[in-house]
Amino acid sequence: MQYTFRLMKSIKIVGTGRALPERMLTNFDLEKMVDTSNEWIVSRTGIRERRIADEKTATSDLVAEALLKACKQAGVKPAELDAIIVATSTPDTVYPATACWVQKRLGISGMPSFDVSAGCSGFLFALEIATNLIVAGTAKKVVVVGGEVMSKVVDWKDRSTCVLFGDGAGAAVVVPGDGHCGVLASNWGCDGNLAPLLYQPAGGTRLPTSEETFKEMAHTVHMQGDKVFKHAVRMMAGAALRAIQEAKLDVSDISLLIPHQANTRIMEATRTRLGIPREKMFVVVDKYGNISAATIPIALDEAREQGRIKDGDIVVMTAFGTGFTWAASVLRW
C-alpha cells in the first residue's frame, strides 16, 4: 500500500455527533398525502422513512445539538472552538448566517462563524476549508456541521420532490493530526451552468418573495430529477476517482465509502463506477432520506458508532449538489 504522505494534510476528526428530529414520516404516511406508493419510492430511491422537524425547530437548533455531541466526544468546550463552519441550504434566515444563530443558542461568541452554501456537497466543502485553516496554522479546533430542515422548503403537494428529503444535522470536530492521519487528497469544484436544474427560485434578489411567488410555490425546491440523476453519478464518481488517484491509492485500499445519501440508485451507480464492493459502502438513506449537506456527517457519525472505522482506515467521502457542486475527500483515519 502506498500513501503520498508528503502531500497529506495532517488533521484528525476527534468527535462526531448527529441530531435527528423524533418525528418519523414513512412512505405509508406519504401515500395518504400525495399520489404515490411505498413501492414507487423504495424502487426509485431506496428511502423508507425520513425525520421531520416540528414547527418550532430551525436548522440552527439541530446544528447546535449535533455540535454539542461532537464537542462532548472530542472533549472540547464549544467556547474553545477556533471556528464554526455550518454547511446548509436551509438557513434559519437569509442573514445573518445560521452559524451566528448557533453561537446565540449556545451562548458563545468570538470565533469566526459562517455558513457554506454548496448544497449537498456543503459538508465536504466545509471540511476542505477547516483542513486548510488547520494546516495553515490559522486554527486548532474547528467544528464542521452540515444541517438542514428540508421539510420547510419542499412543496408537500409535489410528489416528485416531497418524498425525497428529510431533516437533521451532523457535526465533526477537526484538530491537527499527528502526521499519520489526515486528508490524503481531495477534489472539489462547481459547474454553475447547471444551476437551473436544482434550485429554489424565490426569496432572493432575483425573485423576491411576493404574493405571486407564494402562490406559485416558487420558494420551494425546483428540480429536474432525471437530469440531476445523470450529473450526480458522473460528478460523485469523477470527484472520488480523481482524489483516489491523486492519493496514489488502489480501490482495494479503501476501507469505507460514504457517498452523499441522495438515493440508493445514485449511490449504487457511483459505487459500481468506482469498483468498490457493496459491503464497503455505508448507507443510511433508507432511514433518513436525503438531508442534503447533513447526510455525510450523519453517516460518518453512525459508521464510527458502529465500529466501521478504525485508526489507519482509508475513508472516501464523495458528494454532489445544487450549483452543481462536487467534492470528494480521501481520509486516512
222 binds ligand UT7 (CB under 6 A): no
Instruction: Among 14, 44, 180, 286, indicate the residue that binds ligand UT7 (CB under 6 A).
Output: 44
Closest to ligand UT7 by CB, 142 or 223: 223
Of all residues in the shown chain, the one whose CB is closest to ligand UT7 is 225
Set of cell numbers at residue 217: 410555490
52 binds ligand UT7 (CB under 6 A): no
Cα separations (Å) of 220 from 26, 161, 200? Answer: 21, 10, 6
199 binds ligand UT7 (CB under 6 A): no
Cα separations (Å) of 20 from 35, 45, 72, 124, 333? Answer: 27, 20, 17, 20, 25
By CB under 6 A, which span of 40-48, 85-93, 122-130, 276-284 interacts with ligand UT7?
40-48
**Catalytic status, residue 71:** no
67 binds ligand UT7 (CB under 6 A): no
Cβ–Cβ under 8 Å, residues 123 and 261: no
Instruction: Among 26, 109, 138, 160, indicate the residue that binds ligand UT7 (CB under 6 A).
Output: 160
Say how many CA atoms lie within 13 Å of 152 toward its Cβ.
Answer: 16
Separation CA 273–CA 267 (nearest Å)? 10
Instruction: Among 104, 159, 222, 248, indicate the residue that binds ligand UT7 (CB under 6 A).
Output: 159
By CB under 6 A, which span of 63-71, 225-233, 248-256, 310-318 interacts with ligand UT7?
225-233
> Residue 270 Cβ, how far from ligand UT7 at the closest point, in Å?
12
- Which one of 100, 120, 181, 190 is the catalytic residue? 120
Set of cell numbers at residue 45: 430511491
List of E strands, 96-234: 113-116, 142-149, 167-176, 182-190, 198-199, 222-223
Binding mask 227-246 for ligand UT7 (x = CB under 6 A): -xx-----------------
Instruction: Scan residues 96-155 and list those touching ligand UT7 (CB under 6 A).
Output: 120
Cα separations (Å) of 123 from 97, 107, 276, 300? Answer: 15, 24, 22, 11
**Catalytic status, residue 120:** yes
Instruction: Among 36, 38, 213, 255, indicate the residue that binds ligand UT7 (CB under 6 A).
Output: 36
Sign of torsion over alpha carbons 37, 39, 44, 50? positive
Cβ–Cβ under 8 Å, residues 49 and 30: no
Q: What would you measure as the largest C-alpha separation in the chain, in angstroms?
A: 61
Closest to ligand UT7 by CB, 44 or 48: 44
> Residue 146 Cβ, how far from ligand UT7 at the closest point, in Å?
12
32 binds ligand UT7 (CB under 6 A): no
Closest to ligand UT7 by CB, 98 or 322: 322
- Which one of 71, 162, 260, 263 is the catalytic residue? 260
Are β-strands 222-223 and 198-199 bridged in parallel, bridged antiparallel, or unpaired?
Answer: antiparallel
Instruction: Among 290, 318, 325, 329, indicate the residue that binds ligand UT7 (CB under 6 A).
Output: 290
**Got the DSSP string for 165-186?**
B-EEEEEEEEEE--SSSEEEEE
- Residues of this chain that interact with ligand UT7 (CB under 6 A) are 36, 40-41, 44-45, 120, 159-160, 163, 223, 225-226, 228-229, 262-263, 290, 321
Report, as residue numbers or ranges, the catalytic residues.
120, 260, 290
